[in-house]
Structure 1
Amino acid sequence: MDPFYTEQLLPAVNRGLLMSVVLIVPSAIMGQLLGIGVGCCRVFGNRLVQKLMDFYTSLFRGVPLMVQLFILYYGLPKIGIYLEPAEAAIVGFTLCSGAYNSEYVRGALLSIREGQLKAAAALGMSKFQTVLWIVVPQAFRRALPGCGNEVIYLIKYSSLAYIITCIELTGEARGIAAHTFRFTEAFMVVGAYYLFLVTIAGWLLKKFEQRLYIPGFGVIKS
C-alpha cells in the first residue's frame, strides 16, 4: 500500500476520529438532556420561563453554529471566560443540539392527549409527577426519531471544531492534505470515516428505538 496512507493519512485520521468521538458523545448526551428540559419548560413552564426558553431556542437555531463557536472560543475571553478548544466545541454543540432537540420534544409533548393530564390530576398526582412519569416517557418515544436525526447531524457538524483549533477528523485530514497536496485522497478517506460513524449511530438508534417500543404505541418497522 502507498506509504502516504499507512504512514501519514491513516494514523492522522485515526487520531482525529478519537477526538471526534470525544466531542460527539458528551455533546449528544447533554444535548438530548438539555432538549428534554427545555422542551418541558416551553410546554409546562410559566409565561416567563416559556419566553426565556423560546428565546434560547430561537437564538441557537437562528445563529450559525460557526458563529457560535467563534463567540465561545474567541469572544468569551474578552469578558474573562477562557475555554479550551474541545471545551468550547462541546459547549457549542450541546447548546445548538439542545435547541433543536427541544423542538422535537415540544412537538411530542403537545401530542399527548389532555385527557391523560386530567386523569393524573384526578388521581392526586402533582403537575411535576404527571409530567415526569406520564407525559415525558410517552413524548420521548415520539420524539426519538427526530432527536436521533439530530445526533446524525451532530456527527457531521462536529467537523466545524477545527475552526477553533480543535483538531478532529476533518482538521487532521486538512493538515495532511495541505502538507502533501493530496486533497482528493485525504477527504475521500474522511468521508468514508464519517459515513461509518453515521451508519453505526443510525444502527444504534434503531436498536434503541426498538428497545423502547411498546406494542400498540405507534408503528415500528423491523
Structure 2
Amino acid sequence: MPHWLQLMADSLPALLWAGLIFTIPLTLLSFTLGLALGLVTAVVRLFAPAPFAAVARFYVWVIRGTPLLVQLFVIFYGLPSMGILLDAFPAALIGFTLNIGAYSSEIIRAVISSVPRGQWEAAYSIGMSWSQAMRRTILPQAGRVAVPPLSNTFISLVKDTSLAAAITVPELFQTAQRIVATSYEPLILYIEAALIYLVMSSVLSALQGKLEQRFARYGGFLEARA
C-alpha cells in the first residue's frame, strides 16, 4: 500500500471520532440554540417596542459586521481579561450560537414579513390571539419558505466549525493538525479532512433537496385545499 494511502487509513478513525464527538455535537447544538435565538431576535425586531428592537438590530449589526474567527477569539481569549473563563467547547458553542442567531434572524424576519397581511387578518377574524396566529398560521407558512436558506446556513456551519480549532477545540480539523505535527504530511492530512467535510456537506445537501421537495408537496397540498 502506498505511504500516503496508509497514512490516510491510519488517521481516518481519529478524524471520524473527532467529528462524531465534537464537530457534529457542536454543529447541532449551535444551530438549534442559534435558531431559537434568531426567532426571538426576528420577532423582537418586527413586533417589539422601539428600544427592544434597537437592541436586537445592534446585536445583528455587530455579529454580521465582524468575522466569526474574531468573535471566537474575543470570547475565548478576551473574556478572561474580565475574569470570565470558559473552556474551549462552551466558548465555541457561544460564539457559533450568537453568529447563527444573527444570520438566521434575518432569514426568519424576511420570511415572516413575506406572509401576506391577509393571513393575520384571517387568523384574527376567527378569534385567534397574536400568539395563536403566529404559532398556527404565520410560522407554518414562513417555515416552508425558510427551509432552503436555513438549510444552507446549517451546511455552512458544518464547515465553519473548523474555525473552532483556533481556540483549541479538538474537532475534526484540529485533530488533523495534531496528526500533521507528528507525521509531517500536511498535504495528505488536510486533503483527507477536506474530503470528510465534502462528504458531510454532500450528504446534507442531498437531505436538503429531499426536505425541500417534501415541503413543496405540502405547500401544493395546502394551495389545492385553499
Q: TM-score, normalised by structure 1?
A: 0.90
- What displacement does 1:58 show? 1.0
Equivalent residues, number: 218
Q: Which runs of 5+ in 1 are unaligned?
A: none
Corresponding letter in the other structure for 1:14? L
Moved more, 94-103 or 175-184: 175-184
What letter matches 1:85 in structure 2? A
CA distance in 2: counterparts of 1:159 and 1:206, whole angstroms: 24
Cα distance change of structure 1 residues 203 and 101 upon mapping to structure 2, 3 Å threshold: same
**C-alpha distance in 2 between matches for 1:22 and 1:46:** 36
Q: For 2:33 and 2:13, how far apart are their aligned partners in 1? A: 30
Whether contact under 8 Å (2:8, 2:192) holds in the other structure is no
By how many angstroms is 1:66 displaced? 0.7
Structure 2 stretches lacking a partner, 5+ long: none
User: Which of residues 12, 16, 19 is equivalent to 1:17?
Assistant: 19
2-structure distance, mates of 1:17, 1:53: 33
Cα deviation 1:144-184 (Å, max 9, x = unaligned): 11111100110111000011111211111112223322111
Q: Distance in 2 between matches of 1:27 and 1:209?
A: 22
Secondary structure of 2:220's counterpart equals: coil
* Matching residue of 2:174: 171
2:99 aligns to what?
96
**Partners of 1:45 and 1:168 in 2: CA distance:** 39
Q: Alpha carbon RMSD of aligned pairs, Å? A: 2.0
Q: Provide the C-alpha distance between the structure 1 equivalents of 2:222 and 2:93, rounded to a whole number of angstroms.
A: 34
Question: For 1:131 and 1:44, how far apart are their aligned partners in 2?
Answer: 11
Match of residue 64 from structure 2: 61
Partner residue in 1 for 2:125:
122
- SS at the partner of 1:216? helix
Matched, 1:82 2:93: no
More helix by share: 2
What TM-score comes out, normalization by structure 2 length?
Answer: 0.89
Q: Determine the structure 1 residue equivalent to 2:207.
A: 204
